Amino acid sequence: MSPFIVTRTLPVDATGADLRTDVLQGLGRDPKSLPPKWFYDARGSELFEEITRLPEYYPTRAEREILHARAEEIATATGARTLVELGSGSSEKTRILLDALPRLHSYLPVDVSESALTLAAESLLAERPALSVHALIADFTRGLTLPGSPGPRLVAFLGGTLGNLLPDERAVFLKSVRALLLPGDALLLGTDLVKDQATLIAAYDDSAGVTAAFNKNVLAVLNRELDADFDPDDFAHVAHWDSGHEWIEMRLRARRDLVVKVRELNLAVAFEEGEELRTEVSAKFREDGIRSELAEAGMELSHWWTDEAGRFALSLSTPA
């Protein structure tokens, strides 16, 4: 079996330091906000996996449909010998690409979660003992340095996670990805597309209440990690479509006037009844917009694929 290598580029306490900074800054803003990465503790990850199986939540199924239909075309277009996956998580969808890349030598999953990387790598190596796996514990939004690996390389950023970044953040991120690409390398990007409001709202406010539980899980994270005293019952889950920005916002709306204590930060946070805490932005895209953003970052969109219903897109881009 090929060796499994793990490289840590995040300081051991980086997650805790980031959480403290994000809470101090985010809960001090008007309006209040938190970045969506804090959903994903063990319970949050379980809830998100449940969300991906809900009838209302189409993105995961739509992206998998495209991968099954286009994986061989992606392999032919890229000739990739190394697959780099940003925000790899469990690497479930990655298996479709791995099966389709006949010349693949190395897989480089990148994630902030060491446990997720280890579980995924062990599973993949059990199935593909000849595969070289070099996992990177890193925050890809802060820039990234890749270890040496055979080219050409295919950098995959799947799941529509690009939409969780605000426009200025996306611009910085895409330029950082461009900096990773050598001649012959490519970026495979998953993006959710603009569609009717009813479909979008349903995907983020399902009838079973799983997304509501997922949204409120961030409060449990703050309670556990920062000794806060949020009561999830004091907040209602809200999914809002912002047609001007063409993004979904997930929010938590205070049901009454209240004050929350965050003891680890010696912080008291007042909420008025009806006041909302934004916990996620999920931008939806159009082909022209993606093409323009990639061009601004120094990349040229060469392939554009959607699922049969036109709900989701995968695009392939190369250095301009």
Question: What does the block give as tokens for 316?
Answer: 């392939």
**Lowest-pLDDT choice from 6-15, 134-143, 188-197, 300-309:** 6-15
Give the Cα separation of 101 and 72 in Å (integer): 7
**Percent residues over pLDDT 90 in the chain:** 69
Identify the pLDDT of residue 91.
Answer: 66
What's the count of helices (H) and strands (E) in the chain, helices before strands? 9, 14
User: What are the tens digits of pLDDT across the range 214-237?
Assistant: 999 999 999 999 999 999 999 999
**Lowest-pLDDT choice from 130-144, 163-177, 200-214, 269-283:** 130-144
User: What are the tens digits of pLDDT across the range 36-53?
Assistant: 988 888 788 889 989 999
Q: Average of pLDDT values for 252-273?
A: 97
pLDDT of 71 over the 60 cut: yes
Helices (H), 136-209: 167-180, 197-204
> Is 258 strand, coil or helix?
strand
Q: Which single residue is written with the structure tokens 């010349």?
A: 103
Q: Average of pLDDT values for 271-285?
A: 97
In CATH, 1-223+286-320 is 3.40.50.300: no
Q: Rounded mean pLDDT of the chain?
A: 91
pLDDT of 263 over the 50 cut: yes
> Is 286 strand, coil or helix?
coil
**Would you kindly state where each structural domain of the chain is located, as residue ranges?**
1-223+286-320
Question: What does the block give as tokens for 46?
Answer: 């379980």
- Reported as a pLDDT band with limits 50, 70 and 90, residue 1 is very low
Identify the pLDDT of residue 146.
Answer: 85
Peptide bond into 152 cis (omega under 30): yes
- Reported as a pLDDT band with limits 50, 70 and 90, residue 12 is low
- Reported as a pLDDT band with limits 50, 70 and 90, residue 151 is confident
pTM: 0.91
Looking at per-residue confidence, does 103 or 178 come out higher?
Answer: 178
- Reported as a pLDDT band with limits 50, 70 and 90, residue 314 is very high
Q: Where are the beta strands (DSSP E) in the chain?
A: 4-8, 32-33, 82-86, 106-111, 132-137, 153-157, 186-192, 235-242, 247-254, 258-262, 267-271, 276-283, 299-306, 312-319
Identify the pLDDT of residue 16.
Answer: 79
Strand order across the beta sheet in which 299-306 lies: 4-8, 132-137, 106-111, 82-86, 153-157, 186-192, 312-319, 299-306
Identify the pLDDT of residue 41.
Answer: 80
Alpha-carbon distances of 4 from 40, 92, 126, 319, rounded to whole Å: 25, 18, 11, 30
